[in-house]
Amino acid sequence: MTGFAVRLDEVSKRYRPAPGQVVTALDRVSLSVEAGSVVALVGPSGSGKSTLLHLVGAMDTADEGRIRVGERELTELSRRDQTAYRRTIGFVFQRFHLLPALTVVDNVAAPLLPRRGAADVVPRARALLDAVGLDGKGDVLPSRLSGGEQQRVAIARALLSDPGLVLADEPTGNLDSATGAAIVDLLLRLRKERGMTILVATHDRSVAERCDRIVRLADGRTVG
Ligand SMILES: Nc1ncnc2c1ncn2[C@@H]1O[C@H](COP(=O)(O)OP(=O)(O)OP(=O)(O)O)[C@@H](O)[C@H]1O
Ligand SMILES: [Mg+2]
């Protein structure tokens, strides 16, 4: 899978948390991300980083503007096409969102297990665990792993569909700095091997500085 290029044109997103109240989370943001690059999104709390990732991941829709990911114009997708699109991208979150009752390998395989014709999914999940440095840990429960190891499991799970784009929201936010640095190393290595595009929202300067490019947001706008 080659990485998807990502392009936002004048994208705005407003939330209405209460009647009569409007929060402009993104205000006419334009951004062009090269296929296969790793881009850090930085900015103060509330500046719109997560909102931008949610829109690019089609977990939410923009009020205005256009978002193009690879060949897809997200604003023109039907519900069904949005679901199909989400299967072509990977998500990594601050809280790893692993299922505590499933073994590590089943956590990685979980997104594809309910689908028919997925007979090879468990071997693929094991191969991904090897790729993220967790060979031999497949049969334990996530609670037996450290935070950094749990995040590696989440990254392996995000790669199961061979995504063209990975969206990571504060992937090192729950980790100490050395463990966080190892997670960034892992993402950079995986990008080199697989060529996917990665967008990573982070408060951590040392994480941002290792990315190919830094995009700064403030009050829902790109700055600098
Ligand atoms: N579901 C929602 N309902 C109402 N307001 C929201 C919602 N999600 C985000 N917002 C508001 O939109 C703005 C942008 O939030 P967002 O979560 O994108 O910021 P962020 O840059 O990710 O912040 P942080 O660094 O704290 O994660 C904030 O003012 C936030 O309060
Ligand atoms: Mg956020």
Measured CA to CA in angstroms, residue 31 lies from 52, 56, 113, 171 at distances of 11, 11, 35, 22
What is the architecture, at CATH level 2, of domain 1-87+204-224? 3-Layer(aba) Sandwich (3.40)
Mean pLDDT of 36-51: 97
Q: In this prediction, what percent of the chain has a pLDDT beyond 90?
A: 85
| pLDDT reported for residue 96 | 84
pLDDT at 117 exceeding the cut of 80: no
117 C-alpha to ligand 2 centroid (Å): 36
| pLDDT reported for residue 199 | 98
| pLDDT reported for residue 118 | 67
- Closest ligand to Cα 41: 1
Give strand ranges (E) for the chain.
6-15, 23-33, 38-42, 64-69, 72-73, 89-93, 165-169, 197-201, 213-218, 221-223
26 Cα nearest atom in ligand 1: 14
Instruction: Summarize pLDDT for 153-165 with one digit per residue, the tens.
Output: 999 999 998 999 9
| pLDDT reported for residue 115 | 66
Break the chain into its structural domains and give their ranges: 1-87+204-224
**Cβ of residue 13 lying under 6 Å from some atom of ligand 1:** no
3-state secondary structure (DSSP) of residue 33? strand
Instruction: Summarize pLDDT for 71-110 with one digit per residue, the tens.
Output: 999 999 999 999 999 999 999 998 889 999 999 999 999 8
Within the chain, what is the greatest distance between any pair of CA atoms?
54
Residues with C-beta atoms within 5 A of ion ligand 2: 49-50
| pLDDT reported for residue 2 | 85
| pLDDT reported for residue 116 | 60
Mean pLDDT of 139-158: 95
Cα 149 to the chain's mean position, in Å? 17
Give the integer Cα–Cα distance in Å for 29 and 23: 15
**Whose CA is closest to 54, among 108, 11, 111?**
11
3-state secondary structure (DSSP) of residue 7? strand
Tokens of 98: 């692993």
Mean pLDDT of 18-25: 95
Instruction: Give this prediction's pTM.
Output: 0.94
3-state secondary structure (DSSP) of residue 18? coil
Q: 30 and 9 in contact (C-beta within 8 Å)?
A: yes
Mean pLDDT of 132-136: 92
Strands 221-223 and 72-73: unpaired
- Confidence bin at 111 (pLDDT 50/70/90): confident
**Cβ of residue 51 lying under 6 Å from some atom of ligand 1:** yes
| pLDDT reported for residue 119 | 73
**Whose CA is closest to 175, among 94, 104, 80?**
94
51 Cα nearest atom in ligand 1: 18
**Residue for token digits 């939410």?**
60
